[in-house]
Structure 1
Amino acid sequence: MEDIPLHRDFEILVEIFDERGEKIDDYKFHRYYQLPHVQFKNINFSKTRARLFYPKEGQNLPAIIVLSGSDGRIEKAQNIAQLLANRGFVTLALSYFGLSGIPTHLDRIALETVEEGVHYLISLPQVDRNRIGLYGRSKGAEMALCAASVIPNFKCLVVNSPSCAVMEGLKRFKNSGHSSWTYKGKELPFTKFSLSDFIKGKVYGRPIVHYYKNSFISIEKVKAHLLMIGTKEDEIWPAVQSIEQLKRRWQSSYSSQEYELQTLILENSGHMLTVAYQPNNRYKKFAWQNLLADSQQSWQATLSFFSNYL
């Protein structure tokens, strides 16, 4: 962990040229992931590695656990955690695989990983134990929903590009033959990778997944306010279909009477919906202005939801 850089800030150079290619002007500025008043600490749990970010001298603050996707390690989770800490939250970026001393692959990851993070946060004097949130994106969104269905400590969740079901684990670029997640030593039922669905998805230009009924995440057991964000053009899995399925089951459960459910469906970006105001060169078919607008809307919705419900 100690050798992983923080990337607190970076310098941006904007250069302006006329139609002849001659430079008119330039301007430099800094983009901060982590403001100077935000402190950090490396944490080695038994099942995971983490970085804690917290505003200096803060007291009785809400806290958020941050889970990134199938990229593993901690770099992307920590960038999100840093930005949230700038807003006055105590944040804990968790790496659940891919670092020394923890699982190498995204395969049979214990949900107790998240539970350890919760117990650590509520032990901190600067954290209000009754205001713990959870953020997950992509595979981390799947993990977040699974964790919240068995861990009762969360007041609210934000999941970005989620799956409605537990999917098969991965060993690098191969399917593991096992579940992505376990709890109390048992694998959660999962939907296996289907080569037929994959080929059909390529033919039709959209991902196709036939979920196993017993692999659906137990959204009915999530006792927390929930925001789900997805895009119609998700190229990895059908996130909007998952959101609609989760919403139907949520609305038929007791949770709908006690907790707020919000959804945000976006039009002009894909699965890799990043935080706002940074380049996203993955999607060539969308105008950069539309990509920027979607990322702004997603990020502002995330901040607003945590601020309102945490």
Structure 2
Amino acid sequence: MKFLFFSTCVALLLCFACNSTPDHQGKVNTQLYLGDGPNQPLIVGLGGSEGGNAWTSDRWETTRNKFLEKGYAFLAVGYFGMDGLPSQLDRIPVEAVHDAMVEAAKNPNIDSHRIAIIGGSKGAELALLLASLYPDINGVVGIVPGYAVFPALTLNATTSSWTYAGKEVPFVPMPWAAVPSAMKGDLRGAFDIMIEDKEAVSRARIKIENIHGPILFLSATRDEMWPSREMADAMMKQLDAVKFPYAHKHIVVEGGHTKPQERFDSVLVFLERNFRNTK
């Protein structure tokens, strides 16, 4: 009996720890890269589940420079997994990312009326969510995107990845049926089970029809992380159903979850045609 009571108390304490307010909530890390000349459209880059400020890394230097060469300014934003930021992707306030974007757009060389946001994987989830909430975002590129908000990347996965106006954004929960797949590293299998809950998906669906600008999706045919192709297809159908007034395109890339990262030439072409010269 004593052992049972002790075990129960430990479990409750662990649960409390997992669900307590994240550390450094509302903090982000930013790095602004400016090209030459005035009135530069701003591209905001968000990383995914890898954490840190991915767009500041040497790996993405060549891609960043391509944007600068095209006359864009580029804002790299990290929102967890760095010193002074939340340690986990758990209940990240979307206002913090938006505020950083607005602050960067005050630079006199930036055109604050032309802001597009790019994200990959969980970063694409955040990019679409931000653009659905804030009309000052004028374009979105979602690389291997999700069509709904999914759980925080924590051990128990019982909280939302994001908050808005002080509340958790509704998310698709992980049912017990998905736990075995997740525990053995089959994330795609876990997500396939999660999205079978159509009611939960409907509650957590990102309202992409509220976005005030063009949208580009890049998905993978053999995505081992989550069903990006199927979710992007569903979002395209949603946009067509509401007669979305802006350009929207879905590029399907042969390969796994990271393969669409090699298609940034297509991203630049889409932005040049549908975002750069619009107001």
The two structures have a TM-score, normalised by structure 2, of: 0.78
Check if 1:262 corresponds to 2:249: yes
- Mapped partners of 2:208, 2:56: distance in 1: 23
Check if 1:302 corresponds to 2:248: no
Q: 1:177 to 1:219 in 2, by over 3 A?
A: same
- Mapped partners of 1:69, 1:175: distance in 2: 19
The aligned amino acid for 1:124 is N
The aligned amino acid for 2:226 is W
Match of 1:91 in 2: 74
The aligned amino acid for 1:64 is I
The aligned amino acid for 2:46 is L
Q: 1:274 to 1:50 in 2, by over 3 A?
A: farther
2:236 to 228, 244, 247: 247
The answer to whether the 8 A contact 1:70-1:139 is kept is yes
Q: 1:182 to 1:126 in 2, by over 3 A?
A: same
Q: How far 1:81 sits from its partner (Å)?
A: 3.5
Q: How far 1:205 sits from its partner (Å)?
A: 10
The answer to whether the 8 A contact 2:220-2:260 is kept is no
The answer to whether the 8 A contact 1:64-1:135 is kept is yes
Check if 1:110 corresponds to 2:93: yes
Check if 1:151 corresponds to 2:134: yes
- Secondary structure of the structure 2 residue equivalent to 1:168: coil
Check if 1:216 corresponds to 2:205: yes
Check if 1:272 corresponds to 2:258: yes
Match of 2:164 in 1: 183
The answer to whether the 8 A contact 1:160-1:229 is kept is yes
- Secondary structure of the structure 1 residue equivalent to 2:90: coil
Which is richer in helix? 2
Match of 1:53 in 2: 33
The aligned amino acid for 1:65 is V
**Structure 1: 5+ residue runs without aligned partners?**
1-45, 276-294
The CA deviation string for residues 113-154 of structure 1, in whole angstroms up to 9 with x for no partner, is 221132113211111111111100011000000111101112
The answer to whether the 8 A contact 1:61-1:90 is kept is yes
1:237 to 219, 226, 239: 226
- Secondary structure of the structure 2 residue equivalent to 1:178: coil
Query: Which shows bigger deviation, 148-157 or 193-202?
Result: 193-202
Q: How far 1:273 sits from its partner (Å)?
A: 2.7
- Mapped partners of 1:150, 1:225: distance in 2: 15
- Mapped partners of 1:199, 1:232: distance in 2: 24
- Mapped partners of 1:136, 1:306: distance in 2: 14
Q: How far 1:305 sits from its partner (Å)?
A: 1.3
Aligned residues: percent identity?
Answer: 30
Match of 1:122 in 2: 105
The CA deviation string for residues 226-248 of structure 1, in whole angstroms up to 9 with x for no partner, is 00000110000000111111112
The answer to whether the 8 A contact 1:118-1:153 is kept is no
The answer to whether the 8 A contact 2:52-2:82 is kept is yes
The aligned amino acid for 2:48 is G
- Secondary structure of the structure 2 residue equivalent to 1:243: helix
Q: How far 1:274 sits from its partner (Å)?
A: 5.9
Q: 1:205 to 1:145 in 2, by over 3 A?
A: closer
- Mapped partners of 1:229, 1:192: distance in 2: 25
- Secondary structure of the structure 2 residue equivalent to 1:307: helix
The two structures have a TM-score, normalised by structure 1, of: 0.71
The answer to whether the 8 A contact 1:232-1:265 is kept is yes
Q: Which protein, 1 or 2, shows the higher relative CO under an 8 Å CA cutoff with sep ≥ 6?
A: 2
- Mapped partners of 2:104, 2:124: distance in 1: 20
Q: 1:96 to 1:192 in 2, by over 3 A?
A: same
- Secondary structure of the structure 1 residue equivalent to 2:105: helix
The answer to whether the 8 A contact 2:218-2:260 is kept is no
1:226 to 215, 222, 237: 215
- Mapped partners of 2:231, 2:156: distance in 1: 21
The answer to whether the 8 A contact 2:46-2:76 is kept is yes
